[in-house]
Chains A and B, each alone.
Chain A
Amino acid sequence: MKFLRTITLAFKNIRTNKLRSSLTMLGLIIGISSVIILVGIGTGTSRDITSKVSSLGTNILTVSVNTDKALKLDDMNKIAQLPGVELAAPFINVNATVSKGTTTAGMVSVVGIDENYLGIRNYTLSTGRSISFIDVDNKSKVCVIGTEVSQSLFNNTNPVGQILKIAGDNYTVIGLLQAQGSSMGTNADSTVLLPITTAKYISGSSDIKTLFIKANNESSVNFAKLATENYLRTTLDASSDNMRVTTQQSMLDTMQSIQNTLILLLAGIASISLIVGGIGVMNVMLVSVTERTKEIGVRKSLGAKRSDILVQFLIEALVLCLFGGTLGILAGIGLGTAANAFGYTFAYSLNVVALAFGFAVLVGLVFGIFPAYRASCLNPIDALRQD
């Protein structure tokens, strides 16, 4: 009962000093909400990237070489025969403009691929058909386009069967990719896919520098990696300097560790503002103790024990922090959700909210205990004599 009345009293005291209390709470609100926002955006972005990377499949390997000898199309079949490897697909980037009539599609990457590529990258078509080995063999002037390209050139009408111009030549659109979003530096939605033979013709070079490999399953990834590296060493004289075989898992791991560091850093920065908020609480509580020395003396003369006074001031600090903390959490979630509208990915977990709340309580305890202790130690007669 005493406890309940102490809380009521704490609210009373906080209310009598409205401005002071709100300013103190503002410090906490800023601290707590920035923890939630920064960590939320950090984890949101991280989760976003992770889900995109893992949607590619954890049994995918990316190979890039920069050797004097180049990979040829024939090598694809040989690599596909390697132990642990299921499929291998080449990938070459071509510099070319894509247009239709007078409209030019901006920021489009034109890419040469073969019939295995879509399967490896888990791309699906919304209409039409994919590039087949016949297209590759025949150097057909056909293409599969992403949604953004389709939108800018065909205005939401079905692009399949229509003609567009790539590097001055006419190409028939045979398929439309489903919207994928961007991942690993390539945005499938703004891509135009051509048979690799046709792409080579446009670019004038037959070098294949990048390829995607699909391992039989997740457990054979490392095996496939070793076999591929070995193959590249023997056929291209490649060394670890000019060859890189990356597994999705290693990529994920690297990214995750970078992101974790980043989140930790953000949380650290936000925590500093929380500590500053805590110091504000301590300051206000110290002032409050000084102002209320007489009250403490009167209470002691009426039989308040040290612990009674300690608890009274501690609860006041706690109420301040809990109040500020709750508002901070609400502000954090509110602003974070608003940030979503501006293209950030904000994710809050109950864990972070609980942690922030716990932190608010901790701040209240840590920064409230000293003033409260000081109040409790006042000699009743000295306290009473104060005006």
Chain B
Amino acid sequence: MISMKEVSKTYLMGDTEVKALDKVNFSVEKGEFVAIVGPSGSGKSTLMNMLGCLDVPDSGEYFLDGIDINNSSDRELARIRNHKIGFVFQNFNLLSKLNALENVEVPLMYKGMSAKQSRKLAYEYLEKVGLKDREKHTPKELSGGQQQRVAIARALACNPQIILADEPTGALDQKTGQEIIAMLKELNQNGQTIILITHDTHIAQQVNRQVNIIDGQISDEPRWNH
């Protein structure tokens, strides 16, 4: 489903070039749960942003679901982000003025769904993540774990091909983080493809494939069957 060939990304910091990604070859099949681990600054987030079509590579090829991302227009990329990708961020990134239900509705609105339909669907997803009684709460009125669950509901709302989670447990305590991971694992068991970035090797070991990234270079580990 995902296929990256020789993807590089270089940032210029003053005079020095930082190779955030260095000729990365990476592919993901449907239904996989991939954990990307690596030290800080190794290029995990850069890779994730690239996978999520938020950023474009300097060189190399990226095909998502058969679509050549390098040759897609701004508009097409927006559509891909909306239809095919669900993001879960470390710091949740909920819209603070909207309540939980409205937050889940945002991607549905951009998809062009009617208000009535999107409301119904958003409610279903909130229910799925166990927050049906918190629909009217704004992010401020929710705990970190609850916010992340809203974010997961939002990521799922458009029924994406792939969930990209960049350190989704980074801002949560051990127990809450584990609940989020459990939720992601359950989604994966129902067929959802997930790519997860984490520092936590314990978490990384719970999934069926682990990818190490160091200094922008990937070393694939043998698949781990759970």
Contacts and interface: CB of A to CB of B under 8 A. Distances in A.
Interface residues of B, number: 27
Nearest to B81: A303
A305 B54 contact: no
Contacts of B79: 303, 305
A16 interface: yes
A298 B81 CA distance: 11
B2 interface: no
Nearest to A383: B54
B95 A298 contact: yes
15 contacts: A1-B114, A4-B115, A295-B95, A300-B54, A300-B81, A301-B81, A301-B93, A302-B82, A302-B87, A302-B107, A305-B74, A305-B78, A305-B79, A380-B55, A381-B49
A9 B52 CA distance: 27
A302 B104 CA distance: 10
B109 interface: yes
A299 interface: yes
A384 B83 CA distance: 19
Interface of B is mostly: helix
Contact of A16 (B52, B83, B94, B97): B97
B58 to A, nearest CB: 14
B62 to A, nearest CB: 15
B54 A384 contact: yes
A303 B49 contact: no
Given A16-B97, A302-B154, A308-B110, 12 more contacts: A5-B115, A12-B97, A298-B95, A299-B95, A299-B110, A300-B54, A301-B52, A301-B87, A303-B81, A303-B111, A305-B78, A384-B93
A224 to B, nearest CB: 74
A360 B71 CA distance: 42
Nearest to A295: B95
A381 B54 contact: yes
Interface in B17-56: 49, 52, 54-55
A9 B115 CA distance: 14
B120 to A, nearest CB: 14
Interface in B66-87: 74-75, 78-79, 81-83, 87
